[in-house]
Amino acid sequence: MVINAITGGSGPSANANPGTQLGSPYNSPLTIGSIRGISCAVNMHEWVVPVGTLVSGVTFSSPYGALPVYSTGVPGIGIAMVAADNNQSFGSIPRVTYSVGPGTYFIGVKTIVYVVLTAPLNAGSYTIPAQNVAQICASTSGTTNTKDNCAYLSIGAVTVTSTYASCTIQPASVNQTVALPRVLVSNFSGVGSRPSTSAAFHIAINCPAKITLKATMTDANNPGNTGSTLTLTPGSSASGVGIQIYYNGSDTPLSLGPDSAAAGNRNQFLVGGGSSAPATNFTLPFEAKYVQTGLSIVPGSVGSLATITFSYQ
């Protein structure tokens, strides 16, 4: 069986709902040779019944209809199956796949086994151990499986890889240079004063569904800075002034935080989204403004460097 990488995440994840197929199915037909040559003095019915525990509230939508899903022993991952006698059409199990009169018969079964998401997965690797997934039984009853002669249908170990869903920053938003207009010393009136001069810029980021997007602005020259004024770059010749970043039309500058995507990072702010949000293209509007930081200002060039770290929660 081939299992491709799937998308998962912490909390509501996988950008996928319970009942989503993971990877490609086990696709036979597969003949169970251990119950060939059954001799019955009465009518014989071929039953295929699941071994695992039914997962409540989860079904898998297959080409053969909605299928129940059964536990694999791995939280968040189950299986669904269809089966049939080799000469019949597929259908959901448990079911009677074939019925014949008294005699000696070679019986077999063809199956398709689907691996199905049953709950959100954290990022990581999950191994479904080799296990029996169904019984194929010869029964003397078509209404109750009398299990007169049975064999197991087994699957080998399967590895499923789950990765965090990811947003994509648009290329034009990466490594931006924001040019603030020239300003006169006389435009400042004291520590904390801010001339009306500003420079607008934006960051465009596209996110898949079910993502809560948060962000932290960091002072690249002083990553431990948790204030609201960026440190001047070594090449700046002015002093007594700094640069602040404003977000989404706010009158209050952003507070800076560590360069970390961890949930709850200091001064992390909400961009948007949520556990039920559709795929969204965000455009984050910012403004850069001067601020007086010293009692006196020495004219010259001013530069700062900031980074923004997004957290997909």
pLDDT (tens digit, 9 = 90+) per residue, 218-233? 999 999 999 999 999 9
Query: What CATH number is attached to the domain comprising 42?
Result: 2.60.40
Question: What Rg do the C-alpha atoms of the chain give, in angstroms?
Answer: 32
Is the pLDDT assigned to residue 307 strictly greater than 90?
yes
Is the pLDDT assigned to residue 18 strictly greater than 60?
yes
Do both 153 and 188 map to the same domain?
no
Do both 132 and 173 map to the same domain?
no
Average pLDDT over residues 201-230: 95
Domain presence at residue 1: no
Report the pLDDT value the prediction gives residue 22, as an integer from 0 to 100: 76
Cα(81)–Cα(92) distance, rounded to whole angstroms?
A: 6
pLDDT higher at 298 or 32: 298
- The total number of residues written for the chain in this structure: 313
* Residue 62 contacts residue 91 (beta carbons within 8 Å): no
Average pLDDT over residues 255-273: 95
Query: What CATH number is attached to the domain comprising 178?
Result: 2.60.40.1090
Average pLDDT over residues 179-183: 95
Domain presence at residue 176: yes
Domain presence at residue 258: yes
Average pLDDT over residues 3-9: 35
Do both 208 and 136 map to the same domain?
no
Report the pLDDT value the prediction gives residue 245, as an integer from 0 to 100: 98
Average pLDDT over residues 178-205: 96
Count of domains in the chain? 2
**Max Cα separation, the chain?**
108
Tell me the percentage of the chain whose pLDDT exceeds 70.
84
* Residue 2 contacts residue 23 (beta carbons within 8 Å): yes
Do both 127 and 194 map to the same domain?
no
Give the 3-state secondary structure of the chain: CCCCCEEECCCCCCCCCCCCECCCCEECCCCCHHHCCEEECCCEEEEEEECCCEEEEEEEEECCEEEEEEEEEECCEEEEEEEECCCCCCEECCEEEEEECCEEECCCCEEEEEEEECCCCCCEEEEECCEEEEEEEEECCCCCCCCCEEEEEEECCEEEEEEECCCEECHHHCCCCCCCCCCCHHHCCCCCCCCCCEEEEEEEEEECCCCEEEEEEEECCCCCCCCCCECECCCCCCECEEEEEEECCCCCCCCCCCCCCCCCCCCCEEEEECCCCCCEEEEEEEEEEEEECCCCCECCCCCECEEEEEEEC
Of the three residues 145, 164, 183, the one that is the final residue of a domain is 164
Cα(304)–Cα(95) distance, rounded to whole angstroms?
A: 70
Band of the pLDDT at 13, cuts 50, 70, 90? Answer: very low
Band of the pLDDT at 215, cuts 50, 70, 90? Answer: very high
pLDDT higher at 105 or 205: 205
Do both 208 and 189 map to the same domain?
yes
Report the pLDDT value the prediction gives residue 280, as an integer from 0 to 100: 94
Token readout for 9 is: 């995440």
Q: Please say whether the dihedral angle defined by the alpha carbons of residues 30, 31, 32 and 34, taken in this order, is positive or negative.
A: negative
Domain presence at residue 237: yes
Report the pLDDT value the prediction gives residue 141, as an integer from 0 to 100: 77
Do both 140 and 179 map to the same domain?
no
Do both 156 and 175 map to the same domain?
no
pLDDT digit string, tens, across residues 63-120? 899 999 999 999 989 999 888 877 778 888 887 766 666 655 556 678 888 889 898 7
269 φ/ψ angles, rounded to the nearest 5 degrees: -125, 155
Is the pLDDT assigned to residue 163 strictly greater than 90?
no
pLDDT higher at 53 or 164: 53
Residue with tokens 């900031």: 306
Of the three residues 164, 198, 220, the one that is the final residue of a domain is 164
Do both 141 and 63 map to the same domain?
yes
Band of the pLDDT at 42, cuts 50, 70, 90? Answer: low
Domain presence at residue 132: yes
Residue with tokens 């019925």: 99
* Pairing between β-strand 168-169 and β-strand 158-164 as defined by DSSP bridges: unpaired
Do both 176 and 297 map to the same domain?
yes
pLDDT digit string, tens, across residues 115-154? 898 987 777 788 889 888 888 887 777 777 777 778 788 8
258 preceded by cis ω (within 30°)? no
Do both 60 and 172 map to the same domain?
no
Do both 194 and 307 map to the same domain?
yes
**Domain housing 201:** 168-312
Cα(100)–Cα(230) distance, rounded to whole angstroms?
A: 83
Of the three residues 132, 164, 196, the one that is the final residue of a domain is 164
Do both 152 and 175 map to the same domain?
no
